[in-house]
Each structure stands twice: as C-alpha cells, then as structure tokens.
A and B are shown apart, each in its own frame.
Chain A
Amino acid sequence: MTFFTRTLAGVGLAATLLTGTATLTLAQTPDNMLVIANRIDDITSLDPAESFEFAGSDVSRNIYQKLVNFDPGDLDAGYQPEVAESWEVSEDGRTITFTIRDGLTFHSGNPVRAEDVEFSLRRVVELNLTPAFILTQFGFTADNVEETIVADGNTVTIVTDKPYATSFVLNCLTATIGGIVDKELVLANEQDGDLGNNWLKTNSAGSGAYKLVSWTPNESVTLESNPDYYLGSPSMERVIVRHVQESASQRLLLERGDIDMARNLNPEDIAGAREAEGVKIHDELRGRLMYVALNQKHPELSKPEVRQAIKYLIDYEGMEGSFLDGQYTIHQNFLPQTFLGAVDENPFSLNVERAKELLAEAGVESMELEVGVREAQERIEIAQTLQNTFAQAGITLNITVGTAKQILGRYRARELDVYLGAWGPDYPDPHTNAGTFAYNPDNSDEANATGLLAWRNAWDTGGLTEKVEAAVVENDREMRQQMYADIQAEFRETSPFAIMFQKIEQAAMRDNVENVNLGGATTAVSYWVIEK
C-alpha cells in the first residue's frame, strides 16, 4: 500500500466510525406530555411575589391558585371564584371579606387555609419586590398589613385605603402576584428572614393544576400535573417548555413532531408552517400595544393640530398588511381589545392631505424630528415607514436606533422628540393602562414620574387625570366601562400618543393539540385544559 492509499483508508475508517449512526426513527411526543418551544430567557424568578415576565407568568398561572382567577374557557366573563368561594364588600366599599373554599390542598398535602392567603398577600407587601405595586397601590404597607390583611376562621379580610372599584381590586388579585403559597412549606425553607423568597425562585409551593419539577435558566421548565387538582387531574401529565431561540429551529422541531407547539415563529415561518402537514396555527389577541409618542416639550409637537396631523401620517393599513403580517392588528386605543372598557374605534388612517391642512393651521411648514427606537426588527421597520410617510408632509424624521439603556434612558429623561415603542398591561384591569397613558398628576420635571408614559412625554392630560381617578373608584361595572370608553374617545383626539397596533400571538402546533388558551390580553397560558 502506498502512503496515499493508506492515509486515505485511515480517513475513511474514521469517517465510517463518526457518521455510522443508523437512520434514527424519531419518536413523536408521548400522548400525556406537552412539549413547547418558547423563548424563556426572560424568567428571573418563579416566586409569585417577584415574577413579572411573560414566560414566568405562564409557569405561575399553572402552579398557583389565586383568590379569584380567570376561566380559560371564558376569559370575557372576568374574574371568577377560585380559592375564595365568595366575597362581600362592606358599605363603605373599603373592606372585602373572602370566604375560603373548603377542601383545597397544596401540592405538599397541606390544606389551603385562610392563614395561607393572609401570609401570601402580606408576604408580597413585606418583600416589596418589583411587582408589589399591584397590591401596594391599595394602601397596604409593611407597617399596616397586620391590620389591613387579616385571616379569621375561614375568611380573609382586606381593607383598602380608599373605596376602590371592587372590580379593580379583584382584577389585580388575578395577577401573578396574587398566587397563594403554602405557608408552612415556604417558612420551612426561609433563609435569613427572606420569607422563602430565595427558595421560591426555583421551587413551587402552590395548589394549582401543576407543580414545578425543575427550571433550568435559559434551558427548560418542567411541570408535572397535580392529580388532586380541584377541577380534576389535567390531561397532560407533563409539560415541558424548552428554550429555543431561533424561529427556524422551532419550526423544524415542530414539523418533525419533536415538539407540540412553537410560540415564537416569525411571519415567514408561520407562512411556511401553515403549509406543513399536521401543523395548525392558533391566533390570539394579546395585550401588547405598539405606539408612537410625541414629546410635549417640543414647541411644535405640543400644538393640538400637529398631534392630530401626525395621527394622519401613519400608514396603519400598509404596515399591518406587509411586514407585520398576521402578528399585529390595527388598534388605536390604550385599552387592548378584550380588556374591560376596551373600544374598537379606529378613526385614523393615512391621509396626507388632511395632515398637511392641519400642519398649515398650526403654522408648521416643515420640521425635523428625532425618533428613538430600540433595536428590534419590526420596530425599525415601523420607524422607516413613518419616516417615509412623514416626509410626504414635509417632516424629516431622523431615526436613532439604540439599546434599552440609550433609548429608554433618554425617553425616561424626557429628552426624545418622538418615541416608538411597545407597552403591555401590568395587570388585567383597565386602570393599568389608563394610569400609564392618561394620568399625570404632576407634570413638573421634579416629579420624576418615570413610570407614567404621560409624564415621560411631558403631557398635561387636560382633565383626563381626574377622569382616570374617578373611573378607578366607580363601583358600577357598566358605568365604569362607559367611563373608560369616554376617556379613550377624548384621548384619541387630544393625546400626544398615536396608538397603532395590538399584538396577535401566532402559536403553531401539531393538529392533535386541542383547547389551547394563551391567556388573551388579560392573563397567561392555561395548560390544564389542553388535550391531545
């Protein structure tokens, strides 16, 4: 054998060894197991007192029960009894007394008692972590919880500082923060007086349809069904959510049958998956809004005609029909569709002539503006479209793309002319967005109310602040709904916000997966109703 053939033979042998796997038959996912590909790198903690992200809320909704909760079969019905069997509101509207349902048990086997509810809610207030404001906005503080959140027998009483609309209080209790934890189990795992926070980040102590098996950051979340769940043992015994970053990879996994559902496909992959055999697409409206905001410190942008003109300079339909295809729908109001008080009037469309007239009325012939956009493909594309349509009316729009630190920092400091961004509700009550978009009690720089979008845009709401305050304490549900409709009607015309789109989530799944409910605009996914 010459050197050449010997070497070649060696290489060939190695090649055979390395690639010698026989064709693999890839199994389908088992019938009692639900496997989902999702981006879960936003999860930072699974403690309901701390968790405040999309993927974390998904996990939490399935692990923890709340006093009141949404029924996945009928989200529009609003909050329903869960751990609380019933509740009563006092004459003055400040005290709500919940009667705790009998016979519920935690995953540990401990019964769910009024004491656990008291502990869970007090714990949120005492820990005071990021989402705690959802509860503390009712006047609960670490100093007063011993008097304001009290268990007695099988009842729990909460006393708010003002007579808020009951629907407002109860809606807030359906947020992740309202999850009821197992007092004994949590306290047994307390470290240095942290009320079990460190332990609960990666463990569960709930009574919901599922219990947590494991969460490995950026890798996977595994849940196991709770056979003693009060509505019956869920059909899917195991739910595994695997972190897959790439849309193309998710689609491949789905088409091969290695997963049951892919939650982050881009429009191209959705279109491709639609053609694939055995795959279907589920569309669901979510709560995220895409908007443009105009800084009222800018002398021209603060003119009412200019604000109006800009609303006529946006090609809503063009964008919806092209690059946002199927993933956003036109929506021009600050309450997402399906929220209490939501309206569907979308009066604006691209009308350059009308915009020019309005600009002329305001005495603006041409101007140059800077728009701040965070690096995300769809946002940059929207900004480019705006640049194009604004130019038709003589407005030069310069796009600045940057990271959250660069762009949000300037937005929060009221320095940007125009901001293009997204906003999602914090909790399932209209006050969350009303309080953000249309409420600004102190417009001074010193107020530094960076959490309020109205403040960030230096907008004195012209009376809407008071209307928002009135709506949040209105106890008649229909009346309250009407008040939000009125606020939004005024907001559409006068505000410096052009709300453009509402998010549609497109989840692609194997066609044997039934009863999927991702939670709409108000809540998170419900695995316990899913069947295959």
Chain B
Amino acid sequence: MTATPDAPRRRRAPLAPWFTGALRTLGSIAATMLGLLFVTFLIGRVMPIDPVLAIVGERASQETYDQVYRQLGLDQPMIVQFAYYIWDVVRGEFGMSLLNARPVAEDIARVFPATLELATIGVLIGIVFGIPLGVISAVRQGSWIDQIARVVALVGYSMPIFWLGLIGLLIFYGILGWVGGPGRLDIFYQGIVPDRTGMILIDSAIAGNWDVFRNAFSHIVLPASLLGYYSLAYISRMTRSFMLEQLSAEYVTTARVKGMSEWSVIWGHAFRNIRVQLITVIALSYANLLEGSVLTEIIFAWPGIGSYITTALLSADMNAVLGGTVVVGLIFICLNIFSDLLYRVFDPRSK
C-alpha cells in the first residue's frame, strides 16, 4: 500500500526521496479512502433496509413517504448521490443521523473515546501478557507451558465472545461482585467529573476524583480483559511462531556456542529481530479492537462505536452507519501507516 524503497528514478526532477515518499503515501491514502467510501456507499444502497420507512414509520401515508424520499435525495441518480456523499465527507461531515437528527460526526466524537479507552487497555493487556507468553512457549517448545499457551490461544480464538462475556459478567459481577456491571460507571457516579477527553479513567484522574476512577476501573476491567484475552491469543500465537523461526536460525546457535547467556540470546538477539513483525501484529490487533468489538460493547452496555454502528444499522440510520464505517476505515489506514513508519525506524535495513 505504501511506498517501496526503490522509487522509480526520474532523470530531471530530483525530488527528495522523503518528498516522493510522502506524496505516494498521501496518494495511496486518498485512493484507499475513495475505495472505502465507494464500497460503504454501495453497501448502504443495496442493503435491504429502508431509511425512509425508518423515519416516517410504518403507518405514514404514501405522500409523506415520497416527500422524505425526495428530501433524502434518493430520487437522484446513484452517481449524483455518491458525488454529494463524497463532498460531504471531504468537508468532514457525515450528514445528520436520520434518527436523532444530530450531526453524525458529533455522535462519533462522543462515542469514540469510550471505544478508544476500552481497546487501548485491551491491547495493552494483549501485549503485556501475549508477548512473554509467546516467547516462553517458543523457548520451551513442547513443554507444559507451551501446551497451556497453545490451549489458551486456541480457546481465545474459538470461543464466542458474547458467551465468554456473559459468563464473565455472571461470575465476576453477578456472583462474586468483584467488578462493576454493564455500563461505564455506576449510575450515581455519572456526570460527576467534567468531560475533557471522553475517557473516564483519564478524566477522573485529571479531576483527582479517585472514587470515580476506581468505579470506572471496576467497570472496564472485565470487558477490557475479555478483549485483552482475544488480543493476547492472537499476539502470543504470532510471537511464538516468529520466535520459533528465529530460534532455529544459525546466528542463535552461534551466539549460544559463544557462551552468551540464554537471556541475552533470547531477548537481545532473537526478540530484537521480531520486533518489527510484532509491531504489525499489534497494530492490526489494536485496529480490530478499535473497530469496536461489537458484541463486547453490546453485552457490557458500553456506549462505543461498535454499539453505535450496530444500533444505527438495526434502525436503518444509514448516515450513521456510513459515517461510522468511514471512521473505522480511517483508523485501519492510519494504524497501517503508523506501523509502516515504525517499521522504518526499527528495521536496520531501512536506515
């Protein structure tokens, strides 16, 4: 997707490589976005959902129906509708939500921090536990710890998230009462700390209100652990296979023969070489979580972008669905570029 190191040589215009590189990156972002917009737009049109009916209701007269149909521009040719749509998005507008008549962009800005907070903690859990686990199971391939790690990863891969979520709620919230229930805060804590970032943990820390902080933490710990578990399963599996590849390489044997400590062979040599690959894995995993792990958000009544898009979809609020999809797409693209940049920083060959 992004520039390869060997850009085509031009004879006359010796532009700085960073410049052409940046230009290419921008160009590919634009192309990807356009493609994404086109696909989401198309999906929006072919979906068996009627936005007009959603607005006017089941019992409206044909005249009202037709009027709203025209108001939404649905009587225009598809290409014209698409042009309008692009124009809106370019101006940073996703139109008004058909259902609550507020700007979709505003809605997304409101729900996104909730997802960001949840996904960030989730991916951190994935990193903190997943990488060591992957490394250990590679080093002790075939040992009991490797077996356990593989089972953990397998379960994480195959267990339906809503089931695990409900069981988790039942045990840790319902029976044991160790964590907070669905929602981001207990109701009496709502609206106490001023809304600065939209992320309650950060907002309450800024406000120095540790009661709210603790309460928010008790609510996020379960859904974040659940998401963390899924990202852990993925990260540890990938780490394991990357490490196995490195450990069987000649330089590792050489290092061992030279009498280096096991610790520095593993962390100093082998692990160094997989960092770059891991960055991509982590970025992907993070993007997946940010996309709003829909079911997790629904089960935990977590008002993030996943449940926003789902609700919008169920109520045929196409502007909201499209806006949400575009934002999620943008996140994917940005994280891809970001991991690409880190690649260059970390990969010695790119220097």
Contact = CB atoms under 8 A, between A and B. Distances in A.
Name B's interface SS.
helix
Given A27-B188, A29-B187, A218-B308, A404 B50 contact: yes
A406 B263 CA distance: 63
Contact of A6 (B110, B169, B177, B263): B263
B60 to A, nearest CB: 6
B166 interface: yes
Contacts of B101: 44-45, 198, 201
A377 interface: no
A402 B61 CA distance: 22
A404 B180 contact: no
A451 interface: yes
Contacts of A406: 48
A52 B173 contact: no
B210 interface: no
A114 interface: no
B49 A404 contact: yes
B301 A249 contact: yes
Nearest to A448: B62
Contact of B315 (A42, A240, A242): A42
A253 B174 CA distance: 8
Interface residues of B, number: 69
Given A10-B132, A258-B187, A43 B60 contact: no
Most buried by B among A30, A35, A42, A253: A253
A52 B57 contact: yes
Contacts of B300: 249
A36 B235 CA distance: 40
B100 A256 contact: no
Contacts, number: 168
Interface in A129-143: 130
A451 B187 contact: no
Interface in A214-266: 214, 216-220, 222, 240, 242-246, 248-249, 252-253, 255-256, 258-259
B219 to A, nearest CB: 10
B56 A253 contact: no
Given A33-B188, A218-B303, A258-B186, A3 B133 contact: no
A450 B129 contact: no
Contacts of B253: none
Contacts of A27: 186, 188
Contact of A26 (B133, B177, B190): B177
B178 A24 contact: yes
A405 B132 contact: no
A366 interface: no
Given A256-B173, A406-B48, A130 B64 contact: yes
A322 interface: no
B180 A7 contact: no
Interface stretch (A15-23, A81-89, A99-107): A15-23
A21 B221 contact: yes
B100 A217 contact: yes
Contacts of B113: none
Interface in B278-304: 298-301, 303
Contacts of B110: 216
B136 interface: yes
B132 A255 contact: no
Contact of A256 (B61, B181, B263, B307): B181
Contacts of B217: 21
B136 A14 contact: no
Contacts of A45: 100-101
A131 to B, nearest CB: 9
Given A252-B173, A252-B181, A243 B56 contact: no
Contact of B298 (A245, A252, A448): A245
9 contacts: A4-B140, A21-B218, A23-B178, A26-B177, A26-B181, A41-B314, A217-B97, A246-B299, A252-B170
What 7 A-B pairs have minimum CB-CB distances, sorted nearest first?
A405-B50, A3-B263, A217-B100, A249-B182, A44-B99, A448-B62, A219-B303
Given A7-B136, A217-B102, A404-B54, 11 more contacts: A19-B221, A21-B218, A23-B176, A23-B178, A30-B188, A244-B182, A249-B169, A403-B49, A409-B50, A409-B53, A451-B60
